[in-house]
Amino acid sequence: MGEMLLAEPLLWLIGAAEIGFWLFLAAGLAARYLLRRTGLGAALLLGVPLMDVVLIVAATADIASGGEPSRVHGLAAVYLGVTVAFGHSLVRWADARFAHRFAGGPRPVRPPRGGRARMRYEWREFGKVVLAWVIAAGVLCLLTVVGGRGIPELAQWPADPMWAWLLRVSTVAAIWFVAGPLWATVLPGADDRERDRVRA
């Protein structure tokens, strides 16, 4: 219970970072496309990665000041990995839809449904999963070293409050690999152009 109370402010900060991500994203796109203030929009969008910097500094400072490594610190590492790996793509996704809806931009392109294009898409998305894993592992290593502890062996990960999170991410990555790039490579299906030709 004491461990959770010590890490509770960090848990609140993770929630604030998630809310801040969406607020900065929405405000930046609104300024760009609704107010037609491109400079202001770009400045607000810079707040999206800034939330990640604040979170990693807070997590590191908490450990450095004597905080006990906890599940919340592990969650912070995973959150950072996911937001860094997928954040840019999410901003592009939202930007394309704002541009289409409010600035007469082209209709957003949907992911390919089959063929080599789908296979390349799935491998690219899985690359982001791998990047998220690497970043999370790097942050966990940083927190472990700052806390004056040794990096646990793989067999100890399930019992370690921080490193158990990386084991969960590894499980998600393995499922993603099978359901995504491996499936698209083994059973690619027909590409969109061929499917459209058959329907015509």
Whether the pLDDT of residue 14 is over 80: the answer is yes
pLDDT of amino acid 192: 58
Burial group, residue 123, by CB count within 10 angstroms (0-12, 13-18, 19+): middle
Cβ distance 191 to 118 under 8 Å? Answer: yes
Tokens 């793989």 belong to 154
The Cα–Cα gap between 118 and 110 comes to 11
The domain of 121 spans: 2-199
* pLDDT tens readout for residues 115-162: 999 999 999 999 999 999 999 999 999 999 998 888 899 999 999 999
- The residue length of the chain stands at 200
Question: What is the DSSP-derived secondary structure letter of residue 200?
Answer: -
Q: CA 104, 21, 79: angle at the middle one, nearest 5?
A: 130
* pLDDT tens readout for residues 49-72: 888 888 999 989 988 888 788 898
Whether the pLDDT of residue 195 is over 60: the answer is no
pLDDT of amino acid 140: 95
Q: In the chain, what percentage of residues exceed pLDDT 90?
A: 62
What radius of gyration, in Å, describes the C-alpha atoms of the chain?
20
Question: What is the DSSP-derived secondary structure letter of residue 157?
Answer: G
CA distances from 96 to 28, 83, 110 (A): 13, 19, 11
Q: How many domains, the chain? A: 1
| 134 closest CA partner among 49, 54, 77, 60 | 77
Tokens 């901003």 belong to 91
pLDDT of amino acid 5: 42
Q: CA 165, 168, 169: angle at the middle one, nearest 5?
A: 90
